[in-house]
Amino acid sequence: MSASPAPALLIDDPAVLVEALQRQGWRVIGPQARDGAITYDPLTPGATLPKGLTDTQEGGHYRLGAGDPGRWFDYVVGPQSWKKHLFPSRQKLWEASRTDDGFAVTPVQDDYPKTAFFGVRACEIAAMEVQDRVFDNGDFADPGYGRRRAATLIVAVNCTRAAATCFCASMQTGPRAKAGFDIALTELATGTGLLVEVGSDRGAEIVDGLDLPRANAAHRAEAEAASAAAAAMQTRAMPPGMAGVLAANLDHPQWQVVADACLSCGNCTMACPTCFCSDVEDVNDLSGDHTERWRTWDSCFTVDFTYVHGGAVRRSTASRYRQWMTHKLSSWEAQFGTSGCVGCGRCIAWCPVGIDITAEAAAIAASPVPKE
Amino acid sequence: MTAMPKPGAMPDPMVPRRFRVRKAWDEIDGVATMELDPVDGPQIAFQPGQFNMLYAFGVGEIAVSISGDAARADTLTHTTRAVGAVSTAITRLKAGDMVGVRGPFGSAWPIAEQEGRHIVFVAGGLGLAPLRPAIYHVLNNRDRYAGFTLVYGARSPSELVFADEVKDWKSRFDTEIEVTVDHAAPGWTGHVGVVTTWLDKTLLTVDPATVSAFMCGPEIMMRFSAASLANAGVAAERQFVSLERNMKCAIGFCGHCQYGADFICRDGPVFRYDAVAARLKLKEF
């Protein structure tokens, strides 16, 4: 997706774009207000985008409520990420059946039609680009992930407000998407529509068919200013240089402090848009003649995660929290050339006890253990 | 470690290939060796130290090191200890049974790079299995190495695997082999004590500047053996270890085997000791 010089346009109602995509045969997955939260589910024809909603987020707190009734995208990220579509939480990898001379294995491919992700925030594009590196590591590529990613069109929405849990500005992943989208929308002043920018030829083709009016320089400046305001309102920030700080502080007393609060529930890993760990399980039928290999999301917060004969390696919560956070902020950089954190704040909001990764990082950065 | 050939034409790296058990036998109580022939596609070519994911139908999949001779291109050999459901099922396989295999995976013992040197192998328990392909390589090409020492320890005489083969190796005139057990049993006339006791003694008779060491066994054994080697003057960059962690995929996707920034399945299991020495001192890492 190379940057395209196509001029910015204006659209009054984002649903027009959803309908255009659907008419062109795209399955559109977009935000839905469901169970008191924003979720990312397929938009059935005629389904409406949520409007007039906003969210309040804090450590261990998320509420979706009424906002400015004229605004489409005044909520930010909910508990789910697009990860669940590109890297399904349960995925059948293959099946095997008993035969006269042993067994036969049949690979399984899931059905993933060409799909448009509608309403992808900048931090979420960054998260996808992180997982792109995870699932194609140079030696091996996950064929399912690659196939799904290639069949996915990205319609980004640039955030014009931030929740209290957001810290994308400090991770340089947002709030404005610079690349990685086919089409990007930025909501302008209430009632004046949305700025439409094109990020790829594929996106240009879709937008061309809509016959939209051109935006002027003032519109573009307003969109930039709205994103800048969303960055400026962020109250949390990741301290700089955490990769080195954590690598040098693996014995820091703060690991035990956070472990005393941490329930080791794994919510942060499930909500995280980049966490990629998985387990496999074999599911047999009652005859014992048919079996299926499933891949499921897993979490480094479980004791079983490190089980080897004789027991688990990481038995204490402190060791498991250390693993999660040092992986996310430190060893990830050595593995994949990027931080594993995109600053979306989900792990803060969805932690049942409100553990704040930025505060934990700051606590260690502020009192590093002296070198031996 | 050394660059590995990528596994051959593997359309989906998570789908096992079918192999058939040519021969299977018990080594000691609860430890069995099997030789496998491919049912689909070519035999697996591997380098000493690499491992495969072995699948028992309807039970599951585990990582198992390859214990045979890499120079025997027609044979794939695995030695497995029954500790869980899958490993138990694998140790019970008989000639003619089918098993799924993915691999080979991981880094290899850089044994060819240490030609001309005195090779010291330190093995604990079933740690001899991942070392055995490297041992075969040195014994098959003995004239290319300055010396061969194996220090092999187990908890008790009944826990010594490949005991007859170790005796054959010892009967050669160009090997130095010390076998020791933590706890003797009636009839045991060999050494009693920890591996490092005999490692220290054998190191007195060689020039440490010529030694390259390959270690596999419990992490504590490798740590203390590395300390012995360091005390004797063997350079850290001439020491190599094989590490073990939980693995579900072996291709760097499942995350289970992470050891700091290393995925043991891809960056290991064989590491130069100085690359992991600091981490081996960390608890629950």
Domains in chain B, please, with CATH?
17-105 (2.40.30.10), 112-242 (3.40.50.80)
Q: End-to-end distance of chain B based on CA atoms, in angstroms?
A: 21
Q: Are residues A207 and A273 in the same domain?
A: no
Q: Are residues A215 and A315 in the same domain?
A: no
- Which of helix, strand or coil describes residue B106? coil
Residue B4, pLDDT > 50, answer no
By Cβ distance, the residue of A143, A276, A315 closest to B12 is A143
Q: What is the ipTM of this complex?
A: 0.93
Among A270, A282, A294, A303, the residue to mutate for chain B (most B Cβ within 10 A): A282
Instruction: Residue A269: give the domain boundaries.
Output: 242-278+298-366
Q: Are residues A53 and A188 in the same domain?
A: yes
Q: Are residues A70 and A119 in the same domain?
A: yes
Q: Give percent of chain B with pLDDT exceeding 90.
A: 95
The residue among A232, A259, A290 that closes a domain is: A232
A293 to B14: CB separation less than 8 angstroms, yes or no: yes
Does the residue A95 lie in any domain? no
Nearest by Cα to B80 from B138, B17, B139, B36: B36
Measured between beta carbons, the chain A residues lying within 8 angstroms of B84 are 309
Measured between beta carbons, the chain A residues lying within 8 angstroms of B263 are 335
A:B CB pairs within 8 Å: 121
By Cβ distance, the residue of A137, A288, A319 closest to B284 is A319
The residue among A176, A205, A232 that closes a domain is: A232
Residue type (1 letter), B91: T
Residue B3, pLDDT > 60, answer no
Task: Tell me the per-residue pLDDT of B230-272, one tens digit each, with 9 for 90 and over.
Answer: 999 999 999 999 999 999 999 999 999 999 999 999 999 999 9
Q: What is the pLDDT of residue A293?
A: 97
Residue B8, pLDDT > 70, answer no
Q: What is the pLDDT of residue A46?
A: 77
Does the residue A94 lie in any domain? no
Q: Can you tell me the mean pLDDT for A155-180?
A: 97
Q: Are residues A309 and A261 in the same domain?
A: yes
Quote the CA–CA distance of A141 and A134 in Å, as a whole number.
9
Give one word for A177, left, alpha or beta, with left for phi > 0 and alpha for psi -120 to 50.
beta
Q: Structural domain tally of chain A?
A: 2
Q: Are residues A260 and A171 in the same domain?
A: no
Q: Are residues A255 and A227 in the same domain?
A: no
Q: Are residues A138 and A252 in the same domain?
A: no
Does the residue A30 lie in any domain? yes
Measured between beta carbons, the chain A residues lying within 8 angstroms of B256 are 277, 279, 298, 305-306
Task: Tell me the per-residue pLDDT of B187-231, one tens digit each, with 9 for 90 and over.
Answer: 999 999 999 999 999 999 999 999 999 999 999 999 999 999 999
Q: What is the pLDDT of residue A48?
A: 86
Does the residue A96 lie in any domain? no
B78 pairs with which residues across the strands? B34, B66
Task: Tell me the per-residue pLDDT of A245-297, one tens digit each, with 9 for 90 and over.
Answer: 999 999 999 999 999 999 999 999 999 999 999 999 999 999 999 999 999 99
The residue among A177, A199, A232 that closes a domain is: A232
Q: Are residues A160 and A16 in the same domain?
A: yes
Q: Are residues A217 and A339 in the same domain?
A: no
Does the residue A20 lie in any domain? yes
Cβ contact A349:A273 at 8 Å: no
Does the residue A147 lie in any domain? yes
Quote the CA–CA distance of A324 and A265 in Å, as a whole number.
12
Does the residue A40 lie in any domain? yes
Residue A3, pLDDT > 60, answer no
Name the minimum distance, in Å, from the CA of B7 to any CA of chain A.
9
Q: Are residues A262 and A302 in the same domain?
A: yes
Of residues A48 and A370, which shows the higher confidence score? A48
- Asked if A137 reaches chain B (Cβ–Cβ under 8 Å), the answer is yes
Residue type (1 letter), B125: G
Does the residue A25 lie in any domain? yes
Among B81, B257, B258, the residue to mutate for chain A (most A Cβ within 10 A): B258
Task: Tell me the per-residue pLDDT of A99-115, one tens digit each, with 9 for 90 and over.
Answer: 999 999 999 988 999 99
Q: Are residues A227 and A358 in the same domain?
A: no
